[in-house]
Structure 1
Amino acid sequence: MVTRTSLLGVVARTFVASFLLALAVVVIYPLLWMVLNGFKTNSELFGNPFALPLQLTWDNYVKAWNRGVSSYLVTSVLVTVTATIATVFISAWAAYGLTRMQIPFSRTVLALILGGLMLAPAVALIPLVKMFQALGLYNTFWALLILYVAFRIPFTTFLIRAYMVDLPLEIDEAAAVDGAGKARAFWSIILPMCKPILVSSVILNILFTWNEYLFAMVFTSGGDLQTLPIGLTNLMSKHGTEYPVVFAGMTIAAVPVILLFFLTQRYFVRGLADGVGK
């Protein structure tokens, strides 16, 4: 005989499974729709945008690649990798100093760093443009690098500090007894122990930098410096846009981030759960 408790358990599991299935459809369908529309022609797309393509050819993907997506991809990879590495290691150093060392006014320093979370990029846009023009950095690779690093350090420091604060201090004491200095302890002991939150921080910074539009639009004007979000808009033409080519370019831009997330999702979830959840 089925008890009331077991029946409620079955209903609850069925509800959760249905909810997760519906959520998967909501997330996956737009991506699949984008990919498939990259194989269509303009007439197919406007005739029936939700139908399957009549034939699977890579012409639109080749066109998107040859119309600048290849150079935009290289620029995005260069900016994203450089900014992510700089942001994560600067933030890790800051988190190490705030959690493992006795420094004067540490609470004030922490408040100033986290105060950066409240600064909206759009508010500082005009002063930043004038400052970078005066420094001769406007429309350069360094402009994007400095902006991405500066605006991501507060949040990244917050994440890594939340993880480091629960690491036992006995580790530092043991390292000091063995003759390791602060720098050696940081590189050889603390950083390896923080691998999950470092991976989470890397992924979050990659997602931000890869998809960032405002700074890339305002602070760059040359084709060699434009990242993928800006470059994809160049595929739009006033005299007639080949939308399947645009969808193909969007698919090319999305593939690296999707692959990265699936390869590192175990560390990503673990790092956020162990860090922010503490």
Structure 2
Amino acid sequence: MVSRPGFLGVIARVFLWAFLLCLAVVVLYPLLWMVLNGFKTNTELFGDPFAMPSSWSFESYRKAWNRGVSGYLTTSVLVTLTSTLATVFVSAWAAYGLTRVNIPLNRVVTMGILGGLMLAPTVALVPLVKMFQAMGLYNSFWALLILYTAFRVPFTTFLIRAYMIDLPREVDEAAEMDGCGRWTAFWRIILPMCKPIITSTVLLHILFAWNEYLFAMVFTSGEGVQTLPVGLTSLMSRHGTDFPVVFAGMVIAALPVVLLFFLGQRYIVRGLADGVGK
């Protein structure tokens, strides 16, 4: 027999749902307000910023697209995809070596990699700028690719390593008996078994690389290499800003990440729960 919740239980549930509703409003309302303001004119926006637009014209979105958002979007997609592939591959291979291979000073190497989590990017900005200028990589696509990969490898390695530790050793022994080398065992056996955490790390890195602003602002200045977070600032003008166009560009920049988050949030939670939560 299932017992019904008491009075206090009902009150607690009501307060919980009320809190979640308020939280949803706090999170979703700014996004909705940004989308609606992309359909207004400057006069409507300053006249009543919280009113509905008088017409549903996509003119501001077209202007934002033609004023450089299309190029910034292409650069962001390229940088995000390549840095994701590089980061996840390097991290997975490093995690495999740290958990499945008996290497000298394994613990020291592990602590060295994880020590990268304590390095604040802002502390390394000045020497990194000098180094990249000397190497001829400043203001280039390669600068962002190297930086995004280097600063995310420790965190991604930490997640994948935590997952690989609990994989059964019998799998490695069976692969060795079948004549599989290290690379074959990693690529065809271990990596598919790590699919949940790999998916989580891919989604987390995409969210990071797509929204990253500091490195993209400092290490790029040309229009051909600027990503969306930095490129959107070019829509602002000292002599008068068309704010609906700015809001339209922000919507275009946010839409891929919002869709990706809602489609992949269950994979993020599952991968992290199966990995670090073990």
* 1:102-121 matches, cutoff 5 A: 102-121=102-121
Q: Which residue does the alignment assign to 2:48?
A: 48
* 1:67-146 matches, cutoff 5 A: 67-146=67-146
SS of the residue corresponding to residue 110 of structure 2 reads helix
Q: Which residue does the alignment assign to 2:238?
A: 238
1:75 Cα deviation after fit: 0.3
Which 5+ residue runs of structure 2 have no aligned equivalent? none
Mapped pair 1:219 → 2:208: no
1-side partners of 2:195 and 2:58: how far apart?
Answer: 39
SS of the residue corresponding to residue 103 of structure 1 reads coil
Instruction: For residues 79-126 of structure 1, give each alpha carbon's deviation from its aligned partner in whole angstroms, at most 9, with x where no partner exists.
Output: 000001100110000111111111110111111111111111111111
Instruction: For residues 182-213 of structure 1, give each alpha carbon's deviation from its aligned partner in whole angstroms, at most 9, with x where no partner exists.
Output: 21111111111111111111111111111111
Instruction: For residues 30-73 of structure 1, give each alpha carbon's deviation from its aligned partner in whole angstroms, at most 9, with x where no partner exists.
Output: 11111111001111111111111111110000000000000000
Deviates more, 1:178-187 or 1:40-49: 178-187
Q: Which residue does the alignment assign to 1:17?
A: 17
Instruction: For residues 152-179 of structure 1, give each alpha carbon's deviation from its aligned partner in whole angstroms, at most 9, with x where no partner exists.
Output: 0000101111111111111111211222
Paired amino acid for 2:135: L
SS of the residue corresponding to residue 225 of structure 1 reads coil
Deviates more, 1:82-91 or 1:264-273: 264-273
Q: TM-score, normalised by structure 2?
A: 0.96
* 1:145-184 matches, cutoff 5 A: 145-184=145-184
Q: Which residue does the alignment assign to 1:259?
A: 259
1-side partners of 2:27 and 2:48: how far apart?
Answer: 21
1:141 Cα deviation after fit: 0.9
SS of the residue corresponding to residue 56 of structure 1 reads coil
1-side partners of 2:51 and 2:188: how far apart?
Answer: 55
1-side partners of 2:20 and 2:173: how far apart?
Answer: 47
Paired amino acid for 1:134: A
Q: Which residue does the alignment assign to 2:188?
A: 188
Paired amino acid for 1:147: L
Q: Which residue does the alignment assign to 1:36?
A: 36
Deviates more, 1:45-54 or 1:3-12: 3-12
2-side partners of 1:30 and 1:229: how far apart?
Answer: 18
SS of the residue corresponding to residue 210 of structure 1 reads helix
Runs (4+) off by over 6 Å: none
User: Paired residues, what number?
Assistant: 276
1:265 Cα deviation after fit: 2.0
Q: Percent identity?
A: 74
2-side partners of 1:146 and 1:215: how far apart?
Answer: 11
Which 5+ residue runs of structure 1 have no aligned equivalent? none
2-side partners of 1:11 and 1:167: how far apart?
Answer: 44
Aligned CA RMSD, in angstroms, stands at: 1.3
Paired amino acid for 2:269: V
1:217 Cα deviation after fit: 1.0
